[in-house]
Structure 1
């Protein structure tokens, strides 16, 4: 039995390798003319507001790379929450980026339809490009993701009372779904189809300075109920269903502290589950950051894994068909690794140098390291891979690991896959196409 399992997993690696080495698509086949692969599983990709800068990842790349035709949802990261509990889009440096969101005139070479934005037109920036993307891919849903690690500071204030919840939800629908941007009423109407709540975390420590209250646990459920009520009310005017989703943690302790298990799924279309950041440069030894299962010999007991996270939610009453597994398009790294061997579970001096943040590197950069002093190592049983050159160690998901995770999603009866974040993929959307391959309904 063990030998058969190994053969199956080896076949997964071989299939994914074929995908990686296949010739890149032509511009015509990658864009609007590509056959949609939308039936069945959810395929949810986060598009980051800031990706247009250093990562040079405009909305257009979702179309030209072929990613858009493999996705069912794009979550726009992020929308902010004010101290008085409102959605807002223009809070100044550090609190918002209205220029990227809807003010920046996008040049023709970065535009989805090849037409440059006119300065001062009603809708520019990422929001305008998302509208153009939806015109080319009409089945694609775009959600505004509220919060994230940095902007969850005041979620507790917004969720605290019945009145605050009503006001908060109304403000979010007004800005994002009705499209009432500052100075441009209705300009962004139709860009966003629904809302994704990325509160990190109710009644649990997230970024230092976050407001946390014990009643967050119950108030999160009440906030979902209010979103569902107002979204359904708005949907009666648009004659559409407006999705409501949430990003949920991998840590079982956080699950218990912040969420009412089964209750929250009454209001959610589905939830995406954190499948990454299990370990990183903050640890003193190298480890996996996104393994499918806890590896043998792991130094921590208990430890985190994708399977641990999914099983944790199922044990707390979550329906399998509403759980979407998160997959990282980046790796976590350490340097100053000693102890020899393949580098796994060895002491390190700190996070590895990287392009934007020490210890964090996009897949498109990590894929270039293989064969350049780095060796790719795999644990097929646990579903993770890493790169090691004798000193520096990177744990990451390559196409073989990603394809293995899609098979797990199928076997476990889950709802699909989520990717953080789309700008970490290469120009051929290799990881997104791998997910499309693995989750195609045959």
Structure 2
């Protein structure tokens, strides 16, 4: 096999289902930028009751630029180039007594403040929690293809480990310094969107990514193990079968503790007809063609398993938001009808669960697709509610998967209803 020598060189041990011996995973993403317009802070994970039900939190995102994990920059993200960062949110912002997890105000000269210090306080309060830093994401994945090349790989991984595991941060005002963030992160989540396939643009990927992605995972595993055995390495991967076939899941999964399969965003307002954004199964009624006919959760999970990934390493993804269209005909209660992207609170075509749940629109279910939607006044929104989450968590158990994850916490309501539905359905707590 092409990568058999690579496994030996990395000193890898195939991490099998022992990682889930204590129960299924319930993972959630927390976004760096959620503290602004959404006014969602780490304390809200605690106050909603969600922290007690989670096993892992992924902090999104860390930028990948110029062959390194870029940390310590504060500037608005340029959507064209991907340049940007928010060190102020990460580790500079001071929290008051009332707004902190621990009920202790940050001091002005404290080397670690911001979201990262709050996550550290959350871990202290909930010892079951592991926190990972997620690299890349949709906007910040442009640098992966170059960073993963053989001549750049070792330096790139070393930069990520230096910043996020050893905690060596650039000085920003009174914050940062050597070891300032040590102990915050228990591992690294690689969210490359997407190896060997188009992501936010059509230029920052290459056919060489197929081999380089696996080699990058091996290098991360090697360097993490050299720091301390037990540090986590995970990946978030595209759920489209076209994204899966251009990588080698059976090879790269050997280096990973688990894989988050992004089983959402299958359809959305960029398309001219309504459809389900996170269907569990394919349905003969779906008018899609080609690979898009297989844009559903089951086909994604089966493709990963067929490629050689142990089921216990796979986590099913739940979106805490809906995809929507407006100007939609009432025929079939809006399903598979022409429309245009609906207005959302923060961007067109997308809306948080907490907003959709209180609209009071009539609710519909497709039992074949395992999908849910609401429709009224020409508005069609497809999203997972607690009942549909229960269906998907039953699928997780039936398939022997390792658990589930969600994007992202600020979309849930103040009671943590969706996190609770996931936890209850997984039977982990």
Q: TM > 0.5 between the two?
A: yes
Question: What 5-or-longer segments of structure 1 have no aligned partner?
Answer: 1-36
- Residue equivalent to 2:7: none
Q: TM-score, normalised by structure 2?
A: 0.90
SS at match of 1:109: coil
Q: CA deviation at 1:108?
A: 2.0
- Residue equivalent to 1:198: 191
Distance 2:65 2:264 in 1: 28
Q: CA deviation at 1:304?
A: 1.0
- Residue equivalent to 1:362: 352
Q: Kindly indicate whether the alpha-carbon contact (under 8 Å) linking 1:82 and 1:88 is maintained by their aligned counterparts in 2.
A: no
How many residue pairs were aligned? 396
2:76 maps to which of 93, 98, 115: 93
CA deviations on 1:119-166 (whole Å, 9 max, x unpaired) are 2311110001001000101121000000000000010111001x4111
Q: CA deviation at 1:115?
A: 1.4
SS at match of 1:47: strand
- Residue equivalent to 1:377: 364
Question: What 5-or-longer segments of structure 2 have no aligned partner?
Answer: 1-19, 78-83, 172-176
Q: TM-score, normalised by structure 1?
A: 0.87
CA, structure 1 residues 441+107, in 2 after alignment: closer, same or farther (shift >3 Å)?
A: closer
Q: Does 1:300 align with 2:283?
A: no
Q: Kindly indicate whether the alpha-carbon contact (under 8 Å) linking 1:153 and 1:209 is maintained by their aligned counterparts in 2.
A: no
- Residue equivalent to 1:211: 204
SS at match of 1:206: coil
SS at match of 1:153: coil
1:398 maps to which of 375, 385, 389: 385
1:175 maps to which of 140, 149, 163: 163
Q: CA deviation at 1:380?
A: 2.5
- Residue equivalent to 2:237: 248
Q: CA deviation at 1:441?
A: 4.3
Q: CA deviation at 1:209?
A: 5.9
5 Å matches for 1:42-441?
A: 42-90=25-73, 92-94=75-77, 95-161=84-150, 163-183=151-171, 184-208=177-201, 210-235=203-228, 240-257=229-246, 259-301=247-289, 302-348=293-339, 350-370=340-360, 374-441=361-428
Moved over 6 A (4+): none
CA deviations on 1:21-67 (whole Å, 9 max, x unpaired) are xxxxxxxxxxxxxxxx9931111100000011111110001111111
- Residue equivalent to 2:15: none
- Residue equivalent to 1:16: none
CA, structure 1 residues 39+70, in 2 after alignment: closer, same or farther (shift >3 Å)?
A: farther
Distance 2:376 2:256 in 1: 44
Range 173-182 or range 288-297, more displaced: 288-297
Q: CA deviation at 1:210?
A: 4.8
Q: Kindly indicate whether the alpha-carbon contact (under 8 Å) linking 1:85 and 1:157 is maintained by their aligned counterparts in 2.
A: no
Distance 1:272 1:364 in 2: 23
Distance 1:88 1:157 in 2: 18
Q: Kindly indicate whether the alpha-carbon contact (under 8 Å) linking 2:30 and 2:59 is maintained by their aligned counterparts in 1.
A: yes
- Residue equivalent to 1:10: none
Distance 1:329 1:432 in 2: 9
CA, structure 1 residues 210+365, in 2 after alignment: closer, same or farther (shift >3 Å)?
A: farther
Range 394-403 or range 176-185, more displaced: 176-185
Q: CA deviation at 1:85?
A: 3.5
